[in-house]
């Protein structure tokens, strides 16, 4: 018997015991709702958006349409139509939102939607939820749209703000038509006014 065995038998040596814990990926904080909070900030922005009374001194309100979205109680679909006094063109602004049982939607789904918003739009599926983001901005059409939905479920969030400027717009105007030709200064003023309104509609991403 060697000296180490003698010391061990007399209890003079204590061997340390090591316990190896299995490696687990850190779980996301269940209380972290930063993505949902940001998406709901956008919802509040859409809900509070106010239709302008006129745009650039050229487009004036002609007609307001409201269509209920019967599937979801907390919803609103409103279109404001504007007619051009000189351009004889029209502008239509849509505001739509539908908010269902969003507390059932996982935070990961909200984060995926927020990522698509930040990267210019797109579509994906996560945890059985369909996520669609559409962002358009050109001379005749501007739109921000977000849809989160789950088949056969009331877990839904649908938001949209859009502006459409079209020369085929069909409306009955009672205003006196003046000279249909516009100076370059007037054209620039209208263009800037439309651009400013789309900036007012831009979501706080």
% of the chain at pLDDT higher than 90: 54
Tens of pLDDT, residue by residue over 85-94, are 888 788 999 9
Q: Which residue matches tokens 């996301």?
A: 28
Our CA angle for 42, 156, 33, nearest 5°, is: 50
> What are the start-end ranges of the H helices in the chain?
3-9, 34-48, 107-118, 184-201
pLDDT band with cut points at 50, 70 and 90 for residue 48: very high
Residue extents of the structural domains in the chain? 32-201
Q: pTM for this structure?
A: 0.76
Tens of pLDDT, residue by residue over 148-186, are 999 988 889 999 999 998 654 444 444 334 445 678 888
Mean per-residue pLDDT over the chain, rounded: 81
Q: Please tell me the distance from the alpha carbon of residue 81 to that of residue 61, in angstroms, as a whole number.
A: 6
Secondary structure (3-state) at 56 = coil
- Are 74 and 99 spatial neighbours (Cβ–Cβ below 8 Å)? yes
């Amino acid at each position: 018997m060697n000296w180490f065995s003698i010391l061990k038998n007399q209890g003079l040596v204590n061997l340390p015991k090591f316990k190896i814990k299995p490696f687990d990926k850190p779980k996301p904080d269940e209380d972290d709702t930063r993505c949902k909070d940001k998406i709901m900030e956008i919802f509040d922005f859409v809900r509070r958006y106010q239709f302008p009374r006129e745009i650039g001194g050229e487009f004036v309100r002609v007609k307001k349409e409201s269509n209920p979205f019967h599937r979801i109680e907390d919803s609103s679909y409103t279109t404001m139509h504007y007619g051009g006094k000189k351009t004889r063109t029209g502008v239509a602004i849509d505001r739509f939102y539908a908010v269902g049982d969003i507390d059932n939607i996982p935070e990961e789904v909200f984060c995926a939607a927020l990522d698509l918003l930040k990267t210019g739009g797109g579509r994906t599926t996560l945890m059985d939820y369909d996520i669609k983001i559409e962002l358009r901005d050109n001379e005749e059409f501007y739109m921000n749209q977000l849809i989160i939905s789950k088949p056969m479920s009331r877990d839904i969030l649908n938001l949209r703000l859009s502006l459409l400027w079209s020369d085929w717009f069909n409306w009955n105007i009672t205003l006196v038509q003046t000279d249909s030709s516009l100076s370059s200064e007037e054209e620039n003023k209208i263009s800037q006014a439309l651009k400013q309104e789309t900036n007012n509609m831009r979501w706080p991403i």
